[in-house]
Amino acid sequence: MSDGTPLQSPTKRITVRAGKLTVAATGCIPRGGGGGGGAVARELAGRGVHLADIHLIEAGEDPNELVVRFLFEGSDVDQAKNAIVDWALATGYARVWFRDELCDLTDALPPTGRVSVSCPTCSAHWAENDLEFWEAVREHGGFPTTCPACGGTLPQWTVHGSDSVGSSRARPDLEMPRSTVATMMSDRARPRGARPTVEGNG
């Protein structure tokens, strides 16, 4: 940050690949970066895969802010930045600080409507557009990261548009109670009560 405020240790690592984000708690990454530092980060960036450590700035009653530090910035890092800013807006952050840029989202209108994600492990497809789901996402600062069907890691969800929250596009078999959504925010949780739809064979 430009004001010299010391940062706390990073709380998350974001991987951006082909516009898709995957978020992992830094506690899940082995010491030494889990192979993400130095030459490996440079090689991945050359393939269009960007790794970034996320530092959280807690703002009390106001929305939190993020400081993003890429492990290595490839030639297409701007695309990764755009993906992170879009995600930050959807998940309730007020500002995103990059090494050379500040994105102020305080006056931006966050998206609503249908979101979905496909599990890369078991192919279960999850969709939501319930108001309570969005409230839980913004309270937590991210979408659910654990597939209820297989326990695998989910990428962050895709926003499909600003349809009215709770509209007829919701899939009733995938609507989750607030308590279940809150449980899904835990990296180790395997929530119950929601049923996936499976699309395709892989």
The model's pLDDT over 174-201, given as tens digits with 9 standing for 90+, comes to 444 455 565 655 543 333 334 444 444 4
Is 158 within 8 Å of 201 (Cβ atoms)?
A: no
Q: Please say if the pLDDT value at position 133 is more than 60.
A: yes
Instruction: Give 82's contacts (C-beta < 8 A, 6+ positions apart).
Output: none
pLDDT band for 32, please (50, 70, 90 cuts): low
The domain spans of the chain are 12-104, 115-198
How deeply is 11 buried, as exposed, middle or buried, from its count of CB atoms within 10 A (0-12, 13-18, 19+)? middle
Give the predicted TM-score (pTM) of the model: 0.76
